[in-house]
Structure formats: C-alpha cells, structure tokens
Structure 1
Amino acid sequence: MQPTHLGNFYIKNAGPNKIALIDRDQAITYGELDEKINRFASYFLSIGVKPGDRVALSCYNSPLFIYSYFAVTKIGAVIVPLNLMLTPDEAQYILTNSGAKILLAHEKIAQKLSIDAEQWKAKLNLEDIVIFNDKTVQTIDTYPIGALPEVDPNSICALLYTSGTMGKPKGVMLSHNNLLANAHSCNVSLEGTGDDVFLCMLPMFHSFGFTVCVLLPLFSGSSIVIHDTFNPKEALRSINEQGITVLPAVPAMYVILSQALKKRPLSLSTVRIMVSGGAPLPREILNLFLDQFEIPLLEGYGLTEASPVVSFNPLSGVKKLGSVGLPLQDIEVSIVDDSRTKLPSNEVGEIVVKGPNIMIGYYENPEETADTLRDGWLYTGDIGYVDEDGYLFIVDRKKDLIITRGLNVYPREVEEVIYSHPKVLEVAVIGSADRTRGEIVKAVIVLKEDQQLEKEELIDFLYDKLANYKLPRIVEFTDSLPKNAGGKIMKRLLT
C-alpha cells in the first residue's frame, strides 16, 4: 500500500465513472465524490479551518457525512465524529475535551441537541458552527475549488471517543496511515474487489461502521448503498433489489434480520459474505445463516484503538466456531500474563496487539496512553487465548464493559449519574444477557434509609443525563450489595 492521506486515497482505486455511493435513488460516481470532497474542503478552508484543528461532525449516515469527513481530513484537520445518541451534556464534554474549533451539524441533529449557535460558541470556545441545511449545502456545492495543503499521512486524522474505565470518554488518536492500513488489511482478508456492493447500515460515526462500511469499500473501488438507520425490511429490500454482496452488521442486527427472514423468506443469492463485529455473535444465529443460506458469516474482533479491526475468521480456509479468527495481514496478536510474559498456545491471558493500525495514543491523556501502549504493543484489557493454529478466542471482555447493540457502555459512567440521585445510597451496574441487544444495562440499587424509588422515577431522572442506550433496562432494588474484605463490590456475584 502506498502511503497517502485519507483525503485522496479513494481516487486511485476506481475510475471516475464508477458508482461510489447510492443514497436512496441518487447514484454518485467516484468522480463526483472527488469533486464534492474538494468543494467541501475548499469551503472549510474559507471559514478558517486549518491543519491540526479539531472539527466535530454530527450527521446521519449520508453522502454529506462522507463529504465532510474526507474534506476535513484532506486539509490536514482532525475529524471528531459525534455519536448521535449523545445527550447535549455528553456532546458538550467531547467538544470541550477535544478542543474542537468548528462544529458541523445536520439541522435535525442541531434541533435535537438544542444548539443555539451563539450560546454554544461562547460556552464551548467554538470559532464557528455550520448547520447543514439546504441553503448551506447549495452554497458548498458551488464553492470554487482552490489549492489544498499537503498532509502528513502520519499526522492525526481522526479523534474517536470511547468510554474510559473511569467513566469519562477518551479521545483515541488515529493517523491517516492507521486507518488506511486497517482498510487495506481488511480488504486482503475479505478478498474485496471493485465488483462488490456494500450495505452501510452501521452508524458511520462508529469506528467499525466507518472502516468496514466506508473506508474498506472505497479502498477496493466498490459501491456503497447507504441507509441512514437500520430497518430490517429496508435492509432486505436493498439486498434483493440492489445486489448487495457484502453485509457488515453487529450481532443484534443479524438477530433481527433472522427474525424478519423467518416471517418473510427471501433469497440472499447476491450476498457473498457477511461480517459481524462489535459484540459476540450468538452461535445459533451463526448456524442459522450458515445452514439456511450457506453464506459465510465471519465473526471478527477489534477495538477503536486498533482502527478498529484486529481479526476475522478467514473467508478462504478453516473457520472455527467460537473463534474470532486469525489476525489480519500486518497485525500481530499475542497473549501475555500479568508480568507481560508471552504465554504458549491455549493458555489464557491478556490480548495484546501490534501493527500499523494501532493508535497514536489517547488525546491529552499521557497516563492512560502509557498504560495501554507498551513497547509497541496495545494492551487491550481483553482476555483470551490463541490456539495451536493461531486462531484467537475471546474468554472475557474488558472489566465491567457492557456491549449493547455493538455500543460500549462502561458501568462506572452510569453509576456516577445514578449516584447523583438524592435517594440512592449504593449502586452496581452490570450487563444482563439479551437476545436482541446482546446485553442490556442492569442497575442494582441500595436506597438510603426510609427512601422509596420506582424504576420510572429513576429513568426520568437519568433521561437527559445519559444516552438512551446507556439507560438501565432492568432496575433491581436490594438491601445490600455483596462486598469483599476491602469493601469493594463483588459484581460477579450479581446476576
């Protein structure tokens, strides 16, 4: 792979007349994509965006998201995609922590977040807020293309926020080469060609969604069918009518698709490969697609700090049930004990990863960076083993981490908000298995003496403080929480 920055790699991998994006009934060629990105980049330069500036992006899955993301990176600025499920307080924390100078927001999201441009600019030290509406987009569409700056492929390209073990999100710094290396390795593993048609229904703000649904297909010169949200009926319609060949999704989506296919059997004859990531894939769902459709459903493993994909079960060769496959090309995986000594095959320890996809570090967080990056290895905190054939198996995930619909929830963050309720004495937040979501958030609560609290009252209290996916779906009240001799709550005893 020739090193290049994220803003222009796509123009080398397909002819200008090849279809790049399909959004509803609109088809956009690679030539048109390049022109749009250049116009957006020139416009952003005109409003004061400079190399190194952090630019936040809050937008639905759309060509507009892709134009903005690539245009920002094409001028050497740093893109900060915002999770669309964040509350205003959560979004403002990321804007403040990242030092974002510009906020790009779709007008519907701006309304949802109650964005008052002047108030937000003053409160968050923003230089400008661009609200994407018809007038703004028309202006950018006709903006003259000017000279663009040179970009160092090893510079920071994206700042992706992932929850920290202490509850506050951390900014993962990824370079242009980190992301492109991962797209290249994924393409080799999945044997991508320009003939593929990807269905993009995973959120583009998510690292897995952007790398596998946007970067990977553009890297291989493929076409992308864009869905702004996941709707099983619409997904199946696109598969049949638009000839989808690659279907990336999280396990919760495959559960829902399997239920929809039971009600309305359809042919998936065009699909050559399905990819699952973001959370463990239930074996019954894997078997359903393998038995009923004979389509490879490849489970993989990754994390944002690795851009994010580390491994996939191979498309060609042995696929081991229960395994997340083999490391991608150019990526090393090892298992170590607490003293950082490498363990032999089939022994359980911490998973560590090395490769060109590994992050630069955590933004303005040298302590966490030093703890996570050691001697070139990324210490994932995940527990697993590698068998004698090199296949990786996950035994446990990061301590306390809950994955619901492929999104990470760290209990400490939820606990801190629940603790702020005046009736709560103690709380432990854990994950509870759920067939559709993979896991849901469960809160076990001890109330202060002589206090009463209903679940509905608690959820009302939390509603504007936490994103919807972080809200407890199960609330259980108890007289006490199990603790060890040191007074630490023993969550493993809670179910």
Structure 2
Amino acid sequence: MNIHELHRQYLQHPEHPALKFHDKTITYGELEHNVEQFARYLKHRGLREGERVALAMPNCPEFIYSYLGITRAGGTVVPLNLLQAPQELFFIVKDSGARFLITIPAIGQLLSKFPALPLEALVIDENLLKDVFSAPPAEFPARDSESIATFLYTSGTTGHPKAAMLSHANLLADARYMDDASDFGRDDNFLAVLPMFHSFGWTVCVLFPLYLGCTITILDNFKPKEMAEILATGGITVFCGVPSMFTVLLKLRQKVTFPTLKYAISGGDSIPGAVIRAAEETWNFPIVEGYGLSEASPVVCLNPLKGVRKIKSIGIPLPGVEVKILDENHRELPPGEIGELVVRGGNVMKGYYNRPEETAEALQGGWLHTGDLAHMDQDGYFYIAGRKKELIITAGFNVYPREVEEALVLHPSVAEAAVIGVSHPVKGEVVKAYIVPGEGYTPNKQELFQFLKERLAGYKIPEEYVFTPDLPRGTGGKILKRLLSQGLNDQA
C-alpha cells in the first residue's frame, strides 16, 4: 500500500465522514473522488514520476487532496513551512528542484517575490478547481512502496535546512506502529490544528486517522477560543498538540469541559510536568507525552495510552521501533546513564537529499542518531535531557537544560523557562535562564535562586536570568534556543 491508498480500504463505508472543515463534511467516497481528480489534473499538466511538487497552504481539505493527489500521480511532496521567511522558502524550493508549486492566492502573492525559478505555480482558486474536477482519466505509475513520498526539510539548527527523504513505507510504518500502540477506531474524531506541513501534524493528525478510517476535524490555524469551543462541542475524541497549546488553553481560565475527549497527545517539545498536572486537574483527561523527529516519520516513543504513564518521560518505543542510548564511543549505556538516543525501524528515513556525508553521519551503523541526549529507567521508559549541542559544561560539570527547566517551572511565578549555556572566562560556560512570568507574577532572581538551591546542585543553578513575555518557537512549537543564544530576547 502507498499513502494515497490509505483511505481506499474504508470505501466499504463511503458515507462515513472523513473530513470536517468549517460547516462542510467530506465523506470517504468524496475524499477518494477528490484525490483522484487532483492526481488526474497533475498528470494532465505533465507531472512525471519522482518529480517534486512544493505545497504551500494552511490546513484545509485541499491540502490533503493535493498531497495525496501528488503521490498518486507519482510525484514527491515538498511541504513548505508557512512561518518561514520568503528567502528560506526560496532556498527549499530551489534545493528540492520542485517543478510545480501548489498554493492559494494569498500565499501565491507572497511567493511571487521569489527570484525567477523554473517552477510552475498552480494557484487554487475557482478557475483552477474547475479544471481539476474536469480533468480526464489518466494512467498512474505503480510506484514501489520504497519510493520517496515526501521531502521534509529539517529546521536547520546549523546552516541551511536539509531534506529528510521519507518513503511511502516509512510513513505507513509509523501509522501502523501508532495503531499497534493505541486502541483508536473508526468512530474516533481527530482534531487537526497542528500545521499539516509539519511531520507531527501530517502523520498523526491526517495519515494515522485515515489509516483507521476515522473522522478528521480541521482547523486552519490555532485560535485558542475557537479551539476550546471545537473541543467542547465538536465531538473530538483525540487532540494532538504542542506544549504551548496546553499552556495557552489553561490561561483561558474558562469553565469549559471537553466531554468527548479521550486523549490529548503532546509532542514537538518537552511539556512541563506542572502543565500536565494542571490540565488533567482542570479537564479530567490524560495528556500523553511522546517523542519524534522528522527523520523518523516522526513518532518514535509514546507513553502508553493504557497502562503506566510517567510524567517527564517520553514513554516507551512504539511497537516496531528500537531505541537505545549510546556513549561517545557508540557503546550502549545501562539504565540511568545519559547518552545519545538512537533509533532503528521501518519509519526511519532513507537519508538526506543530496547530502551523502550528512546521511552517513546520521545513519551510522544502521541507526538514526538523533542528536538528543536521553536516559532510560529500569522500566524501559526514556527521558530527554536535551540536545547534544545544547549540553552545558560549567567548570567541568555537565548540566542538562531540561533538568533545570523542569525545576524552574515548579515555581509559581514561572510559566515557561528555557535554559542555555553562555561563555564565561573562568568556568567555560555558565547557565542562563529565560523566564516567561506567570500571569500576575513578577519573579526575581534572588527568589528563584533560593528556590532552586533546594532542588539542584549549585553548578546547575542559573547565574543569569532574562525575563521575557514569550520565547521564540519553530513550527512544531519547539523553543528555538539558537535564537536565544544570539541574544534576540535579551531586551524584552
């Protein structure tokens, strides 16, 4: 099976709702028809097997029709991150060698500022949709499941972003692994508010529910009050979000209940234990933390939906995924010791496009080297300590940022915290904390220092503090510490 065939297995229930968007419901029968027409249209426009098609639009049914239509017609999808600057998008379009760009008028006007590229823009408006739905029948290539379905460009923490090449088999493996780890079924309703151009939003909120034959309720962007209303009245049973979404929902302080919600799944970045406890006390549903990365399609670990959930843990590997912790000499470490988290499974990428050296480094020994520092406990649960490149070494001692951040957010005046290392003439580095104050609070350095003395070794306590109204984030909600290292929030 290829990803564009996912929903076909549920055509014995063609009237079952597949997508809900605003006041419109699209059945599985209509979804199949629309995907087929988009594929026919692209084939008619000359899309050849293996050619890349950039996709730039917000969450909407047409995103799904386009994505699955591209892959059915034999192409490879290059989703564009709409939060990136035009110059960044230009690099991705050029680097991928995309032949077509599918977009909407507002975004098309922005992207028209690109320097000249051999790129054909298909702007979804009334006229184009008329052509799409009148496209004649076409023959499509029978692509192998190992053929590349998508290029997912990483956030580019160093240098330019690079494209993780994911095959149809990679994406389907992750959907199957999620199915094996859960008990969701056709009557579930997933809320798709995470951007579909992000790996978490696409695999977990679109491909996985289509694999199950579920309903997907689509929100085009994150508006807290609108999302709270949908969760309260829209029959949503599964909500996938990033930590900042849960924090913002808690700030609404509305007496609202989510009567149909079974689970909320948090990913994209670490979620403070205090946020999990507050959300569960407020709404009485579990928040299940997981872990993944684009190079693994993306989900790797998840706290059990049924069974023991451990706060601050990313859970256990999905069925079919292997995870272990290695030291700097690639030796496996025992429980409790921190090293690099590495992954092996059918969901791991084929490599980086046109980056053979970086591919070889990332896939050493057949394992995906994530660059994340972690440890495993005696029960097989994993815990992230931070990025290898974010490890702080102060006076010869290792400091893992997440440990300090978790301690900081326990203080009532701290809503969010991010910790980095900054250079010091004697110690090499010292710990610096960026603090988002809790509503109605004015935290101060001395008070936080005394609070942390009871919880952390002295060398782990921040020597510098910056109080800021917000923290810079990437698309998936992850705090962009490289921007903090550049001092961009220091004048807040």
Q: Is the pair's TM-score, using the shorter chain for normalization, greater than 0.5?
A: yes
Does structure 1 retain, via aligned residues, the 8 Å contact 2:44–2:138?
A: no
- Match of 2:261? 271
- Match of 2:165? 173
- Match of 2:373? 383
Q: 1-side partners of 2:388 and 2:41: how far apart? A: 42
- Match of 1:44? 42
SS at match of 2:38: helix
The 5 A counterparts of 1:351-390 are 351-390=341-380
Q: 2-side partners of 1:431 and 1:90: how far apart? A: 29
Does structure 1 retain, via aligned residues, the 8 Å contact 2:36–2:69?
A: yes
Aligned with 1:215 (options 207, 221, 230): 207
Q: Which TM-score applies when normalising by structure 1?
A: 0.79
RMSD over aligned Cα, in angstroms? Answer: 2.4
SS at match of 2:50: coil
Does structure 2 retain, via aligned residues, the 8 Å contact 1:16–1:30?
A: yes
Percent of aligned positions that are identical: 41
2:299 is equivalent to residue 309 of structure 1: yes
Does structure 2 retain, via aligned residues, the 8 Å contact 1:255–1:435?
A: no
The one-letter code sitting in structure 1 at the alignment partner of 2:63 is: F
The one-letter code sitting in structure 2 at the alignment partner of 1:124 is: L
Does structure 2 retain, via aligned residues, the 8 Å contact 1:42–1:146?
A: yes
* TM superposition shift of 1:145: 3.2
Q: 1-side partners of 2:29 and 2:137: how far apart? A: 14
SS at match of 1:209: helix
SS at match of 2:33: helix
Q: 1-side partners of 2:141 and 2:18: how far apart? A: 25
Aligned with 1:59 (options 54, 57, 60): 57
The 5 A counterparts of 1:87-166 are 87-113=85-111, 115=112, 120=115, 123-126=116-119, 128-166=120-158
- Match of 2:333? 343
- Match of 1:492? none
Does structure 2 retain, via aligned residues, the 8 Å contact 1:54–1:79?
A: yes
2:230 is equivalent to residue 238 of structure 1: yes
SS at match of 1:124: coil
* TM superposition shift of 1:435: 6.8
The 5 A counterparts of 1:416-455 are 432-434=434-436
- Match of 1:331? 321
| Residues 52/434 of structure 1: CA separation in 2 closer, same or farther (3 Å cut) | farther
Instruction: Give the number of the structure with larger relative contact order, counting CA–CA contacts within 8 Å between residues 6 or more apart.
Output: 1
| Residues 431/145 of structure 1: CA separation in 2 closer, same or farther (3 Å cut) | farther
- Match of 1:69? 67
- Match of 1:6? 3
Q: 2-side partners of 1:19 and 1:371: how far apart? A: 44
Tell me which moved more, 291-300 or 377-386: 291-300
| Residues 315/16 of structure 1: CA separation in 2 closer, same or farther (3 Å cut) | same
Q: Which TM-score applies when normalising by structure 2?
A: 0.80
Uncovered stretches (5+) of structure 1, i.e. residues with no partner: 404-410, 412-429, 437-467, 478-495
- Match of 2:78? 80
Q: 1-side partners of 2:436 and 2:167: how far apart? A: 36
* TM superposition shift of 1:471: 6.9
Runs of 4+ in 1 over 3 A off after TM superposition: 400-403, 430-436, 468-477
* TM superposition shift of 1:6: 1.0
SS at match of 1:163: coil
Does structure 1 retain, via aligned residues, the 8 Å contact 2:10–2:213?
A: yes
